[in-house]
Structure 1
């Protein structure tokens, strides 16, 4: 079995990080292919993904697109993707679905940019609700299932799905509470996350749209990227 996972910029591509970190953390082998964002990616990305987006998983002649679909596909073939214990697995599925379909203010106002630190111009009420909900969710998972991961002692899909949030929390110094911040520090310290971050900091390619997203909502206070 040989997978190819197609992703985009390490600095920006939050959706790409999810299956990438899951496969790395669970030692699922794959060929790693990066295609950088440009001003208009749709037609280029349509060459390998029917939705014109990343990530995209290739398994022989099969194409699996959308990060959640990729994770479910992997979960059917590799043990440990979801928690084994039923209550933890049920909670993890709910929390993952909530992230997949929600938190629009957090996504739009606090874009992932691994190498940047920034101070928001303001925290709108909708964003504040998202921040509070993230803190509540993380504390619930850690309290109910004992940590150090969100659904217990092992890294699973729910941790992978919230991994981009960890970088958002750090970049914008979002107050998600002590328990939530402990998980953020823990996941960022994971060797696979450190590998992703190292590649992000080494990137010199910049995509103007992603850079403008941060400039519109925050003042950049530090940039640790090369170039």
Structure 2
């Protein structure tokens, strides 16, 4: 099997890189990542690999996949356990991923990912508050599968990888969360893989890379 190589951006701020990286790290598949810092000379590497010239991009032999959700779908073909086994549950997991992939513009704009910082977000307008409430509603659905694990659909899935950057945002900006959402956040934050990513993010910032 050819090696899976995932090109990612700055670990402190690239939420779209974190999503497929976390799915890949949890998949059990052999891989390596290459960090390509935004605005660096290394970016020529991305331009040679990806038709969009953006990260994340996955290289697997002659195959190149250049979108976070498409990368995760590709990984799930190699590691099917990344999606729930039950068809209805799998469909819902895909739906909440697609919702994150295309939605929440106000939350993204005001609460940009900055793992190593703690910030005051300023006043949250009604559009941002509505999107935060929608995130909490999605997370509350996990209560149906609590006997199978602490994640959105019981066991860890791509859906959790897609909402992990939101967890880090809520920590960064000190967003007040209800108890059940706090428990979900704790489950994500305790993942060894996310801890490793966050440690590398801090090293980036300490080295002056934002």
Same fold (TM over 0.5): yes
CA shift for structure 1 position 193 = 0.5
Q: Which moved more, 1:61-70 or 1:85-94?
A: 85-94
Question: How many pairs align?
Answer: 205
CA shift for structure 1 position 19 = 0.9
Give unpaired runs (5+ residues) of structure 1. 208-227
1:206 partnered with 2:209: yes
CA root-mean-square deviation:
1.7
Q: Return the alpha-carbon distance in structure 2 between the equivalents of residues 44 and 26 of structure 1.
A: 25
Q: What whole-Å deviation, never above 9, does each CA across 1:78-126 have from its counterpart, x for those lacking one?
A: 1201000222212111111100010001111100011001111210111
Alignment of 1:10-159 (within 5 A): 10-38=11-39, 45-140=46-141, 142-146=142-146, 147-152=149-154, 154-159=155-160
Q: Return the alpha-carbon distance in structure 2 between the equivalents of residues 129 and 95 of structure 1.
A: 16
Which has a greater percent of strand?
A: 1
Q: Give the corresponding residue for 1:184.
A: 185
Q: Give the corresponding residue for 2:198.
A: 197
TM-score normalised by the chain length of structure 2: 0.92
TM-score normalised by the chain length of structure 1: 0.85
Give unpaired runs (5+ residues) of structure 2. none
Q: Secondary structure at the match of 1:106?
A: helix
Q: Return the alpha-carbon distance in structure 2 between the equivalents of residues 137 and 187 of structure 1.
A: 15
